């Protein structure tokens, strides 16, 4: 394999790498050590031995579109960093290839969509496209493709909100049924002599599991608190 070079900028640290990382004998040990530091987890500062395959993949994509340099947005992540991002950022995989040093999130100065299409055509691993943010992901895991933009996210959030509204509507309907099961009781103020000794639950109380404390023996009247679900 001929000499392979990379010109990279780390978006978080501002550091650069510019030089060969592979020659005709294989990966260059010193260059790979430098790249592992350059592509470290920028949250924790921890490093891993980066997979040379993902660097080869990046080189091929750059050659395909004539890109002279690439900006690295994310490379290695510790499990802790990835878990934090999964909690706070939509679309982060729990078992991301970033954890294993086999993934890069990249942005070129231009032709990013064309680069993403070229990467997918190579079928060398996973390729993700984030058009709204203008970057793409490559990894050397299983071959798979995905696209994630804010239109898809908006649709998901809309669906979630619709389900929440439907659930709230069902809760309100349940409350109305509960109130209808005790017609006129709120206004009558009459005691419940039969229920006092029967041990039967009031309609709707089966779900709450809350006892009617003191009602069975006190003969006290039921007040308007039933109207608000206070029991």
Burial code (b: 16+ CB inside 10 Å, e: under 16) for 151-185 equals eeeeeeeeeeeeeeeeeeeeeeeeeeebbeebeeb
Q: How far apart are CA 208 and CA 123, in angstroms?
A: 55
CATH number of the domain located at residue range(s) 4-148 in this protein: 3.30.1380
* Cβ neighbours for 172, distance < 8 A, ≥ 6 positions apart: none
Taken in order 163, 165, 171, 174, is the CA torsion positive or negative?
negative
pLDDT computed for residue 176 by the predictor: 63
Domain range summary for the chain, segments of one domain joined by +:
4-148, 151-228
Segments in the chain below pLDDT 70:
1, 150-164, 167-168, 170-231
Global pTM value: 0.65
DSSP annotation of 192: -
pLDDT tens, 17-37? Answer: 999 999 999 999 999 999 999
pLDDT tens, 201-228? Answer: 444 444 444 444 443 344 444 444 333 3
Distance (Å) of CA 164 to CA 90, 161, 169, 171: 19, 5, 9, 11
């Amino acid at each position: 394999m001929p000499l392979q070079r990379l010109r990279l900028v780390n978006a978080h640290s501002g550091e650069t790498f510019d030089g060969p990382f592979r020659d005709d004998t294989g990966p260059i040990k010193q260059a790979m050590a430098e790249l592992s530091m350059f592509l470290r987890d920028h949250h924790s500062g921890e490093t891993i031995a980066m997979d040379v395959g993902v660097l080869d993949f990046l080189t091929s994509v750059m050659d395909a579109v004539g890109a002279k340099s690439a900006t690295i947005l994310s490379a290695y992540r510790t499990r802790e960093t990835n878990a934090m991002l999964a909690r706070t950022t939509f679309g982060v995989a729990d078992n991301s290839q970033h954890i294993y040093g086999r993934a890069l999130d990249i942005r070129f100065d231009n032709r990013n969509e064309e680069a993403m299409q070229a990467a997918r055509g190579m079928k060398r691993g996973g390729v993700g496209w984030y058009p709204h943010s203008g970057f793409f992901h490559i990894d050397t895991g299983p071959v798979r493709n995905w696209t994630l933009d804010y239109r898809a996210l908006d649709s998901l959030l809309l669906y979630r909100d619709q389900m929440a509204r439907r659930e709230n509507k069902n809760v309100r309907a349940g409350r109305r049924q509960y109130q209808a099961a005790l017609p006129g009781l709120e206004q009558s103020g009459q005691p419940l002599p039969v229920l006092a000794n029967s041990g039967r639950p009031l309609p709707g109380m089966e779900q709450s599991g809350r006892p009617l404390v003191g009602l069975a023996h006190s003969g006290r009247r039921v007040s308007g608190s039933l109207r608000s679900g206070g029991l």
